[in-house]
Chain A
Amino acid sequence: AQSVTQLDSQVPVFEEAPVELRCNYSSSVSVYLFWYVQYPNQGLQLLLKYLSGSTLVESINGFEAEFNKSQTSFHLRKPSVHISDTAEYFCAVSDHKAAGNKLTFGGGTRVLVKP
């Protein structure tokens, strides 16, 4: 079984400032790691994922996340946020070998970008 902890439930940040959202996971097996974003009144969308290879993964809209196996973390960062980044962000993991592609989500971090 896996568990995911997002250490901050809310993160207020000013426009053009950097932001970091923390995610730690616990698992007895190897996992794949995902960040999803939920804009207001919408469903979730994949932001980025780590499967293998380089531990730094990037999204098309300027976010990046780094997989740290020793610290079992997958923190999400953006060097300069925009108003449009206001959303809730979810970290999730899936078991390498389990059937069904089931995701375990963290509790979410709500990012509010202020002008």
Chain B
Amino acid sequence: DAGITQSPRHKVTETGTPVTLRCHQTENHRYMYWYRQDPGHGLRLIHYSYGVKDTDKGEVSDGYSVSRSKTEDFLLTLESATSSQTSVYFCAISVGMTSTDTQYFGPGTRLTVL
């Protein structure tokens, strides 16, 4: 499972509050990703990182920010949560840097914004 953990696993929050989700890996892989999963949409990329302090936007980045101060941790922040951000959030790592490499996924965080 590539040693990926996510915390918290479940969270309920209210509209307008800030929320931070954490992804931790134990194997020092360079590439890390945040996806959201919604019915009918599959997984959509929010942000990704290709190294410490190196991040870039994905397909659905509006309303989200990320930080990576250590190789092993990739944080996803919702500055002011909205109900449209209710979703299941998955972190992933890539074992390599090319498009042939497999991505491994964490167990997910179920976020509900009331």
List the interface of chain A (C-beta within 8 A of B).
4, 6, 9, 32, 36, 42-46, 49, 51, 90, 92, 94-108
Contact = CB atoms under 8 A, between A and B. Distances in A.
- Residue in A6, A36, A43 whose Cβ sees the most chain B Cβ within 10 Å: A43
Contacts of B56: 100
A96 B42 contact: no
Contact of B43 (A32, A42, A96, A105): A105
Contacts of A105: 42-44
B97 interface: yes
A101 B96 contact: yes
Interface string B53-87: 00010110000000000000000000000000000
Interface of B: 4, 31, 33, 40-45, 48, 50, 56, 58-59, 90, 92, 94, 96-108
B102 A49 contact: yes
Given A43-B90, A90-B43, A105-B44, A100 B50 contact: yes
Contacts of A104: 45, 59
Contact of A107 (B41, B48, B101): B41
28 contacts: A4-B42, A32-B100, A42-B108, A43-B90, A43-B106, A44-B90, A44-B105, A46-B102, A46-B103, A46-B104, A51-B100, A94-B99, A94-B100, A95-B99, A96-B99, A98-B99, A99-B97, A100-B48, A100-B56, A101-B96, A101-B98, A101-B101, A102-B48, A102-B58, A104-B45, A104-B59, A105-B44, A107-B40
